[in-house]
Amino acid sequence: MADLRRYLGQALLYAAFFVPLVYITHLPTFTHLEEDMAVLKIAVRHAGKIIGECKPLSGAEYDKLPSNMKRPEICPRERSPLQLELLLDGESLYRATVSPSGLHNDGVSSMYQRFEVPAGAHHLQLLMNDDVASEGYTWQLERDVVLEPAQVMVASFKEGFRLQ
């Protein structure tokens, strides 16, 4: 009789643990993405052009430098920030200026953005300027795309824009 009580007690404790667990795993529904939506992601990691030009050192300036730092010219380290713009069907979806990383603004500029957009045919434009000395955009991608529902399209940059 004591064994029967012990087994019944264990069964009740197991049920008290598993019933809420089963409820939590089956009843709450989560929709990651609406049925008629797609995802567009932009990932850019690019070093902008160096701001300024190298300057040759005069004889007196060269002589003042310590022997381990002597070089014929001094070049700036700072890089241009990236100016990015995403247009979808002619409307601006994203516009930002991304500063370079690093203590002296001499590293790469990195950005990542995710957008939920309606599925279907779209006209996509990605514009980027990586040189503060030039007007307008130095890199461009303009393409007609068809996004299926729940499709994920990634626009990345490596020596030019790519869509995957």
* pLDDT tens digit sequence for 59-77: 787 888 887 887 788 888 8
Place of tokens 């990634």: 154
pLDDT score at 119: 94
Counted residue by residue, the chain has a size of 164
* pLDDT tens digit sequence for 44-55: 998 888 888 888
* pLDDT tens digit sequence for 111-147: 999 999 999 999 999 999 988 888 889 999 999 999 9
Indicate the pLDDT class of residue 155, thresholds 50, 70 and 90. very high
Residues 6 or more apart from 82 whose CB is under 8 A from it?
A: 44, 46, 48, 97, 98, 109, 111, 128, 129, 130
pLDDT score at 96: 93
Per CATH, the number for 37-50+80-163 is 2.60.40
The full set of domain ranges for the chain reads 1-30, 37-50+80-163
Which pair of tokens denotes residue 131? 């040189």
From the list 115, 76, 79, the residue with the least C-alpha distance to 95 is 115
Distance, CA of 82 to CA of 131 (rounded, Å): 8
Whether the pLDDT of residue 159 is over 90: the answer is no
The whole-model pTM stands at: 0.72
pLDDT score at 58: 80
Whether the pLDDT of residue 89 is over 80: the answer is yes
What are the angstrom distances between the C-alpha of 154 and each of 6, 29, 30, 132? Answer: 58, 27, 24, 26
From the list 91, 81, 155, the residue with the least C-alpha distance to 122 is 91
Residue 4, helix vs strand vs coil: helix
